[in-house]
Amino acid sequence: MGRKSKCKRRGSPFRAALLKGGASVYSPWFCRNGDFMRATADLVSIVGAGGLTVRLFSKNKGDTGNGTEVDASTSISLSSSGRSTAEWGPSTGTGIKQLVRYKFTASSVFGKESALFRMIYPLWFDAVNASTGVGPPP
């Protein structure tokens, strides 16, 4: 019998947070559930002139540490209340490995800013091959 996975199947276990300006925090690790991932950040409120940046990190289950950033040129950035979405996939930077996590950074101009935000559960989907209907493109 195989071991049961300890990964949550629903998506990101990260719900909501108040992040002070200048601070960075990682979400817990969660399982990759497809070839592509669309993540949406919802900035509920912001105090001051700061903003929120969300980046995606990934690693394999046997790896240690914080993982590697999937793609430095793909992120979610918000400077006012609202939602923003980004997509990562196999051809985005290093690609998505077995485990993923977010890194949240609240920017600060005066050191007194804060951001109240949440992550909407990510949308996962697989690549489709036009000739066979399944699997990644050739």
Classify residue 98 as left (phi > 0), alpha (psi -120 to 50) or beta: alpha
Q: What is the pLDDT of residues 46-63, one digit of tens each?
A: 888 789 999 999 999 999
DSSP state, residue 73: T
| C-alpha–C-alpha distance, residues 126 and 137, integer Å | 11
Contact 102, 60 (CB under 8 A): no
Which contiguous run of DSSP H or E holds residue 40? strand 36-47
Contact 116, 18 (CB under 8 A): yes
Q: What is the pLDDT of residues 70-110, one digit of tens each?
A: 999 999 999 999 999 999 999 888 899 999 999 999 988 77
Reported pTM? 0.83
Domains and CATH numbers, the chain: 16-121 (2.60.120.680)
Nearest to 54 by CA among 43, 44, 67, 41: 41
